[in-house]
Structure 1
Amino acid sequence: MRIIILFVLLALSSCTRPGPETLTLVSRHTGQKTVTILVASVRVPSHTVPYAFTAGRADRLRYLKVTVAIPPGHKPPNIEWPKGTPDPTKAFAVVGREELSQAQFVAETRSEGAAGIFVHGYNYNYQEALYRLAQMTADSGMTGSPILFDWPSQASITGYVADRDSAAFARDDLVSVLTVLGKSNVKTTMLAHSMGAWLAVESIRQLSLMGRRDVLRKVTQLILAAPDIDVDLLRKQLAATQPLSQPIVILASKDDMALSLSKRLAGSAATAGSLDIAEPRTKMLAKENNLEIIDISSLPSLEGTNHDRFAALAAVYPQLQNTGEPNPVAGTGALVLNGAGAIVSAPFRIGGTIFAK
């Protein structure tokens, strides 16, 4: 176990982290593919780099609209990071941005009628979260407004405990975002990764305890990717949570090495993101809480830790929506544990009516 933990630490810290210079505003090339991301951030803005954010905890939400150009040679599910001044013909690049008021933010989503909210995980800086959502949006061809809920992660391997506090700090702000969208009749899907999954479940739990069924009815689905949540804690959270219109989805990999590290750091027996769907206790968890647990161990890992496979799922999303075509996930070992506690094979699709039984 110590060898695994050491490997995870080395893998996560070996590469150079993208800095705020990757957010430099450049000109878009004619005809280039772009995606527009709405941002709700509770980080403190940088005083040195315009429109960048620090790891500080802000006293209020800030809203942005950011347009990201996707390079012609983009290969899903990678992020082609800029080196030096961003060149949109070779790398992801910001080609437009503006600050928004809350009213403008809501108006942007209302025009689409639907929104997909990405809640990033532990050890993320702002630019990593922004470009990851841009990658998933470009690769999946999703409709509706992609929204980044950006909470103040320290973006540091050693910041695990601080990140847990920051996730709790941001809980009311995520509830606020869901509330203003729900009151404006915007239907939302949330994709929450790692520690962000705890934050997402807590927001749903808080809305349930507040009796805000009107807001919860607008949350059409919650997808937890590699959730860094103790299984017993998840049971407790769900016991106080009103059911959503679709079952909560968990994307799990039993060989997730980052979650192995998390279990050691937190002293947890099991995390929801590393469940083995063949185990009886996992089947019981799904049945008792009407969960859909998907084994995505067959998908490629981008960083070697098996904690980021959810990003690869976006790349095959268009095919997953059409069950009449060969499914790139089915046949590679991907399985679904449904809310009845039974394991079924893919094909499946994320969002709306899901999973072919």
Structure 2
Amino acid sequence: MFIHGYNYTYQEALYRLVQMSVDAGQSQTSILFDWPSQGDLVGYVADRDAVAFARDDLASVLDALGRGGVKTTVLAHSMGGLLTLETLRQLKIAGRQRELDMIEQVVLAAPDIDIDLFQRDIRTIGRMKKPVVVLAAKDDKVLAFSQRLSGSTAAGALDVNDPRVQELAQSDNLQIIDISSLKSITGTNHDRFVSFAAAYPQLQRANKNQSGPVAGAGALVLNGVGDVISSPFRLTGAALTQ
């Protein structure tokens, strides 16, 4: 399931979903959750309100998928990450664990979420089946704009080499992946998750086999073609290795 971010029209979100599905060689059914973004650069504040409005609808979709026995991987971009975490938090508080258990994995691409809110939501939701993946880049221009508006650090702009970020990944069961070297289609550095899609099957296989630098929680750095080139640390089971 793809949950788009700020400044998306339905047509743009659908195109992006198809593009990523093809690039990743996706054979499973792809789902687009479209929330009412203004689809306009000046609609930032309105889009944040729309995210709050859409939480119940996303919860209903996840409930329907869960009732149908569908295991879902959620890829949420930018402000869609805020919608995703707030919805999962809502489900957790309501005691709707069944819906949470049917989520195979959550991937947050350049999440436009205040880091304090991010941590609170992650800790309220609790441990998922697999580590929550955060695709981050310090040079994301859209998140830089968001940070100027809010005065706080966005979860999608974390530095994987920062010991505090490494500690966060360890304590909260996260995979924080630096995708700064991947290609940006628009030059904003906010859409690198599209380039990441082609490398995702490789990372999934490594996780499934519990081998290589992407096993378990940790902080990773990718090169320009999506290969892991360094791992500031890796957590596998109870062992923390440098």
With the shorter chain as reference, the TM-score category is 0.7 to 0.9
CA shift digits 1:267-289 (9 cap, x unpaired):
21x11101000112211211221
Amino acid in the other structure paired with 1:330: D
In structure 1, which of residues 174, 182, 188 is the aligned counterpart of residue 66 of structure 2?
182
5 Å-filtered alignment, 1:273-312, equals 273-312=156-195
Count of residue pairs the alignment pairs up: 224
5 Å-filtered alignment, 1:10-89, equals none
For residues 233 and 110 of structure 2, what CA distance do their matches in structure 1 show?
15
CA shift digits 1:88-144 (9 cap, x unpaired):
xxxxxxxxxxxxxxxxxxxxxxxxxxxxx1000000011000000000011111132
Query: Relative to total residues, which structure has the larger helix share, 1 or 2?
Result: 2
For residues 127 and 202 of structure 2, what CA distance do their matches in structure 1 show?
29
Query: Alpha carbons of 1:158 and 1:336: their partners in 2 closer, same or farther (altered >3 Å)?
Result: farther
In structure 1, which of residues 165, 177, 180 is the aligned counterpart of residue 49 of structure 2?
165
Query: Alpha carbons of 1:247 and 1:317: their partners in 2 closer, same or farther (altered >3 Å)?
Result: closer
Query: Alpha carbons of 1:339 and 1:176: their partners in 2 closer, same or farther (altered >3 Å)?
Result: farther
Structure 2 equivalent of residue 228 of structure 1: 112
TM-score by length of 2: 0.86
Structure 1 equivalent of residue 103 of structure 2: 219
For residues 63 and 233 of structure 2, what CA distance do their matches in structure 1 show?
31
In structure 1, which of residues 252, 256, 265 is the aligned counterpart of residue 140 of structure 2?
256
Provide the alpha-carbon RMSD of the alignment. Answer: 2.2
In structure 2, the residue corresponding to 1:123 is in which secondary structure? coil
Question: Runs of 4 or more off by more than 2 Å in structure 1?
Answer: 315-323, 327-331, 333-344
Query: Alpha carbons of 1:167 and 1:336: their partners in 2 closer, same or farther (altered >3 Å)?
Result: farther
The answer for unaligned runs of 5 or more in structure 2 is 207-222
In structure 1, which of residues 125, 128, 153 is the aligned counterpart of residue 9 of structure 2?
125
Structure 1 equivalent of residue 219 of structure 2: none
Q: CA deviation at 1:335?
A: 4.6
For residues 120 and 81 of structure 2, what CA distance do their matches in structure 1 show?
15
For residues 342 and 278 of structure 1, what CA distance do their matches in structure 2 show?
15
Query: Alpha carbons of 1:339 and 1:160: their partners in 2 closer, same or farther (altered >3 Å)?
Result: farther
Structure 2 equivalent of residue 29 of structure 1: none
The answer to whether the aligner puts 1:330 opposite 2:213 as a matched pair is: no
In structure 1, the residue corresponding to 2:76 is in which secondary structure? strand
- Identity of matched residues, %: 53
Q: CA deviation at 1:320?
A: 4.8
Amino acid in the other structure paired with 1:296: I
Q: CA deviation at 1:318?
A: 4.7
In structure 2, which of residues 149, 165, 188 is the aligned counterpart of residue 265 of structure 1?
149
TM-score by length of 1: 0.59
Q: CA deviation at 1:235?
A: 1.1
Say which one has the larger Rg: 1
Q: CA deviation at 1:238?
A: 1.6
Would the aligned equivalents of 1:129 and 1:148 in 2 still touch at CA under 8 Å? yes
Structure 2 equivalent of residue 142 of structure 1: 26
For residues 336 and 295 of structure 1, what CA distance do their matches in structure 2 show?
11
Amino acid in the other structure paired with 2:130: Q
For residues 301 and 178 of structure 1, what CA distance do their matches in structure 2 show?
30
CA shift digits 1:285-314 (9 cap, x unpaired):
112211110111111111111110000111
Amino acid in the other structure paired with 1:286: A
For residues 337 and 258 of structure 1, what CA distance do their matches in structure 2 show?
28
Query: Alpha carbons of 1:239 and 1:153: their partners in 2 closer, same or farther (altered >3 Å)?
Result: same
Query: Alpha carbons of 1:130 and 1:342: their partners in 2 closer, same or farther (altered >3 Å)?
Result: farther
For residues 304 and 343 of structure 1, what CA distance do their matches in structure 2 show?
35
Q: CA deviation at 1:174?
A: 0.3
The answer for unaligned runs of 5 or more in structure 1 is 1-116, 345-357
For residues 336 and 136 of structure 1, what CA distance do their matches in structure 2 show?
28
